Structure 1
Amino acid sequence: MTAATNVLEQSIVVFSQNYLPISRVNIKRAIVLLLTGKAEPLRMMDVRVWQVRSPSRVIEVPEHIRLTIKGKERPWRVPPVTRREVLRRDHYTCQYCGSTHNLTLDHVIPLSRGGSHTWDNVVTACERCNQRKGDRTPEEAGMVLRSKPRAPLHPTVAFAEQFWRQQQTRQEQISGYSPS
């Protein structure tokens, strides 16, 4: 693989005008945003910068860019509680045993006990765990949830959380520090 091909496979983190990480784009899209003035380079410590050359120009593309234009924010609503969305949220994994086979939906507090069909009461469960739990709460069945069910996050917020976690891990690796 050539160095040029290697550079073209890089991805760049895009920040909003108020420095919120909002997405990741390929380097070609980042170059277009920089050349059209819709974005500016963000220079932070320990950030890689790639030089992209054309016959008439050399452009430096940093690992992070910031939009200079204000885009229209598309409205986002929490999706309805459906089998597809619950499976996606739970990463297609039983929330009791971790299995990825024969998945069903389970109401943490059963509907017959006053539970509701809401994001914080529905989880993915394999058939075996769902039958074992039956019409009981997880505590009554002696079962523990792997994660607390909650509604999906706005995609931008989810991206920002992931970005800052990665940055923290990166800084810990650089400094050799681990908070334990």
Structure 2
Amino acid sequence: MRHFSRNPPGSTLDARNWSRADVLVLNVTYEALCEIPAERAVVLISVGAAETVADREPPFPIRSQHVEIRLPQTIRLLRYVYVQHSVLVTDSSRATFAGVFRRDRNRCGYCAEPVATTIDHVLPRSRGGPNTWANLVACCVPCNQRKADRTPEEAGMPLLWEPKAPRHIEKAQRQIWRDLAAV
């Protein structure tokens, strides 16, 4: 998620600028959705459409004649909002070797042994195989040497799983849960 803060970090809030401060909005499932102006967040809280997850520090009270609400840093919607997620990384995106090891959990794509220390190009580089998520698998040294400069079919070594791009939404969700646990 991109962060386009209208108030730079460390700027002080006052009666004139508090409404332009950014507030993170979470879905019911604690999935980050977007950032909205604090004025809109206060309205969502006051009408019962959202609840405060984390208050802004130092505390900044928003007062009306009958109500006082502390300015939130993060709010959570009380009804689920369906958002179709766009895929930022595709199977044809360029992959990193560290990312491939992480995705495959250091397991060889041909024998499943948890000792993969090399990366194999499913379609060999000598035949134009790219460094993409769909063309790279973690591989142990014996399997990589046995496959050599051939495709898995030519080498008689079928892949145990189809290499795909990792799912970054799940990674972002785990980070949100870690941040909430620290609050």
TM range (shorter): 0.3 to 0.5
Q: Which has the larger radius of gyration?
A: 2
User: Structure 1 length normalisation: TM-score?
Assistant: 0.47
Q: Which has the higher helix share?
A: 1
User: Structure 2 length normalisation: TM-score?
Assistant: 0.46
